[in-house]
Every structure is written in C-alpha cells, then in structure tokens.
Amino acid sequence: MITFLLLALLVVSLLLWIVAVKVKTIPPGTPDGPTSCTPIGPAWLRLLIPVDPLAELLTAVVGAALVGISLVLLALYATRQYAWVVFILTPFTVGFAASLLISCHCAPTRGQCVRAASLAVFTASLGFFVLGAEGFVCLLMAAPLAILCAIVGALVAFLVQHSRREALPVTVGMLLCVLPLIATVEPALLAAPPPLTVQTSIEIDAPPATVWAHLVKFEPIAAPLDSWLFKAGVAYPISAELRGRGVGAVRVCEFSTGTFVETIRQWDVDRELAFTIDEAPPPLREWTPYENVHPPHLHGYFLPESADFRLVALGVHRTRLEGTSVYRNRMWPVGYWRLWSDAMVKQVHLRVFQHVKRLAEADG
C-alpha cells in the first residue's frame, strides 16, 4: 500500500510539473496581465533568476519551497510549536516568495502567481517527505490549510506588485523581520489548549448487563478496518483488559500504535464506566518509506484525558450506549485541527461500540 501511494505521489508530482510547463505565459497587454514588462525585482536578484519563463518558474518554486522548509524546521526545533507560524505564516510566505520570484523580469498574472504558490507548497511537502521529516498522512492533513494560505500570500504579492511596486521592498523586509520575531515569542502568546469533547452513541438489542460485560473488557476486534483514517495509519483499538474491579482498577486498552493505560474513576455496574487516561501511545503511524520517522507532533500534542461510557436502558432488551471522550490538542489553529482530531476520536468510539454491539447481540 505504501509503495502504491509513493508511486501515486510521484505521478501527481510529474503531472503538476507537466501542467506548469504546458500552461503558456499570458503576454503583456491581456486583460489579466500587465501592460508592460518593466522589471520589478532588484538587479542582483534578476542576475540569479533565469529569463526563460519555464526556468524562472522552476527556480521560483524551488526557492520558495526551500524558504518554507527552512522556516518550518526552525520553528519546530527551536520552539517545538505546531501553531500559527508553521501552518499560517510560513505557507503565506512561501506563496508570497514564489509570486515575488517569478516577477523579477516581467510582472506575472494572478493565475501565474497562484500556480507558482501551489507548486511551491507541493514541492516543500515533497521535500519534507523525502527528508523523512514528515509522513504522508500528516502532510495530507495540513495541505488544505497550507495551500489556502499560500494562495493568499501569492495574491497579496500580486496586488503589491500591481498597485504600489515601491512598497514591495518594505513588505519583504517586514516579513523577514516579523517571522523570526513571531516564531520566538509565539510559545509565550499561546494559551493552554482548551479541553475538547467528542460524543457518540449507539443502540444495542441487548440488556444493559450484557452490554456492560462486553464494554469493561473485550477480546481482540476481528472486524476489518472500515474507516479510511485507520487505513491511513491512525491508531485504532484492538482489545481491552481489566485488572481489578471497581474504582481504582486499571483498564489496559491495546491500540495499533501501543497501549492506553486507564484508571477507573466511576464504576456503576450496568450504568456507567468512566476513567482517566494515564498513558497513551502515538495517535498515528506515519506512512513513510523510512523505517523510523517520529516527528515531534506524535508525542505530547494530542493529549487524551478521560472517557465516560453510560448505558441507558430503553426497555428490557434494548440499551443505548453513550460515550464521551475529553482530550486536548496542542496544534493550532485549534478550529482546523479539531476537524481531524474529532474525526479520529469518533472513529475509535464507533469501532469499539460496533464490536460491543456484535458481541452483546450475539449473546442475547
């Protein structure tokens, strides 16, 4: 599967480069283009950037991608923060830089700026993947946000070039000064991540006592992986073992990436099971051609805290199983990354609940 994805990634990369080659440069004087090819960039930069449109595009894409890779590595390993600098400001800068670099010899069109920015983000992502700094799944999750911010950066550069070109050096200088400053002070500006809650429920044709017996502990789940998130490497539950009974007992839940150790804090037989999570494994296993890739976000950024399962009798032989999990996510913007983390927790709930449902209904 990983080999197939790597081949697919290479094919997509090749297709993007072919598109970049085939799309013709809009000549000066067109409605979407400038009225003249007056050079915009400084003389020293024009000496480094080829005049040929294709070579200029490739140079701009690679140069902007290198800027992005450098900024991300600096932010991650200097501040250990996956936040606004990594996911917002850096893609914006990559898009801005790509648009700036293709404007040295002739002012580009909006479409050319957007194309260069998108290719630069893709090239930077490919660079992280080849360097073994990130896995395919995490890059895929970050791609929508990164591409959007890069396009915004490209459009800002386009507007600056076509409205007040004399402001371009000032804008570039501000970016170069502000980015390192924000990367330095960002950890102090970030508040503690808020607790996030995911709730799931399912109805089971079995009495609460039967459901309870299969909830507190269960044999390995034999059902195939039906969620693409699990197939992509997200940790999924395998089995649960109970050590002791009642409040204070330990529940050990095996996942595909390691072991959850949970301490029971609420034990109401046939009604409620609640526990705190003391130890948790990495939230996913990266897709990568390398044997060991452990980016920082796999450790200490997704923080599961507790879970609460309630059994509500709907009749003599029917039960509603309700689950609530609480976790924190240290990756910002919280609103964006919550979309992914909520989906992951939801799929874990459903896999366990469906397994309990099969076992309980079979007993019934």
Q: What pTM does this model have? A: 0.81
Q: 220 is written with which tokens?
A: 């390995």
Hey, what domains does the chain have and what are their CATH numbers? 13-189 (no CATH), 196-363 (3.30.530.20)
Cα 62 off chain centre by: 23
CB 101 within 8 A of CB 60: yes
Confidence of residue 165 (pLDDT cuts 50, 70, 90): low
Highest mean pLDDT among 100-109, 122-131, 154-163: 122-131
Beta bridge partners of 277: 262
* 359, pLDDT greater than 50: yes
Comparing C-alpha atoms, which of 65, 83, 183, 72 is closest to residue 134?
A: 72
Q: Which comes out higher in pLDDT, residue 117 or 50?
A: 117
Residue recorded with tokens 């009974």: 245
**111-125, 217-231, 334-348: least confident range:** 217-231
What pLDDT score does 132 carry? 82
* 304-324 mean pLDDT: 95
* 51-79 mean pLDDT: 84
Q: What element of type H or E holds 49?
A: none
What pLDDT score does 5 carry? 39
Q: Which comes out higher in pLDDT, residue 228 or 14?
A: 228
Comparing C-alpha atoms, which of 251, 250, 265, 70 is closest to residue 176?
A: 70
Residue recorded with tokens 């998108």: 118
* 165-194 mean pLDDT: 61
Q: Which comes out higher in pLDDT, residue 8 or 210?
A: 210
* 183, pLDDT greater than 90: no
* 92, pLDDT greater than 60: yes
Q: Which comes out higher in pLDDT, residue 156 or 202?
A: 202
Highest mean pLDDT among 33-37, 86-90, 122-126: 122-126
Percentage of residues in the chain having pLDDT higher than 90: 47
Sheet (strand 196-204) strand order: 196-204, 318-329, 302-315, 272-279, 258-268, 250-255, 237-243
Q: Report how far residue 81's alpha carbon sits from residue 77's, in angstroms, rounded to the nearest whole number.
A: 8
* 105-113 mean pLDDT: 84
* 254-276 mean pLDDT: 96
Q: Please give the mean pLDDT across all residues of the chain.
A: 82
CB 148 within 8 A of CB 138: no
Positive or negative: CA dihedral 206, 208, 210, 215: positive
333 cis-preceded (ω within 30 degrees of 0): yes
pLDDT in tens, 22-58: 443 334 444 444 444 666 655 656 667 777 888 888 8
51 contacts: CB under 8 Å, gap ≥ 6? 105
Q: What element of type H or E holds 265?
A: strand 258-268
What does DSSP say about strands 196-204 and 250-255: parallel, antiparallel, or unpaired? unpaired
Q: Which comes out higher in pLDDT, residue 300 or 34?
A: 300
Q: Report how far residue 253's alpha carbon sits from residue 8's, in angstroms, rounded to the nearest whole number.
A: 35
187 contacts: CB under 8 Å, gap ≥ 6? 79, 80, 81
CB 296 within 8 A of CB 285: no
Where do runs of H (alpha helix) occur along the chain? Answer: 2-22, 43-48, 53-79, 84, 90-101, 110-131, 136-163, 168-189, 208-215, 228-231, 334-363
**Dihedral angle of Cα 201, 205, 206, 208, to the nearest 10 degrees:** 30
Confidence of residue 105 (pLDDT cuts 50, 70, 90): confident
Instruction: Report in angstroms the alpha-carbon separations of 293 from 2, 121, 147.
Output: 14, 21, 24
What pLDDT score does 168 carry? 54
What pLDDT score does 6 carry? 37
Percentage of residues in the chain having pLDDT higher than 70: 79
**20-24, 177-181, 274-278: least confident range:** 20-24
* 198-215 mean pLDDT: 95
- The torsion angles phi and psi of 230, rounded to 5 degrees, stand at -65, -40
Q: Which comes out higher in pLDDT, residue 39 or 293?
A: 293
* 169-191 mean pLDDT: 60
CB 138 within 8 A of CB 344: no
HSE on the CB side for 148, CA within 13 Å?
8
Q: Report how far residue 296's alpha carbon sits from residue 294's, in angstroms, rounded to the nearest whole number.
A: 6
What pLDDT score does 131 carry? 83
Q: 88 is written with which tokens?
A: 């917002």
Q: 316 is written with which tokens?
A: 């003599």
* 245-265 mean pLDDT: 96
Longest dimension (CA), the chain: 83
* 4-11 mean pLDDT: 41
3-state SS assignment for residue 287: coil
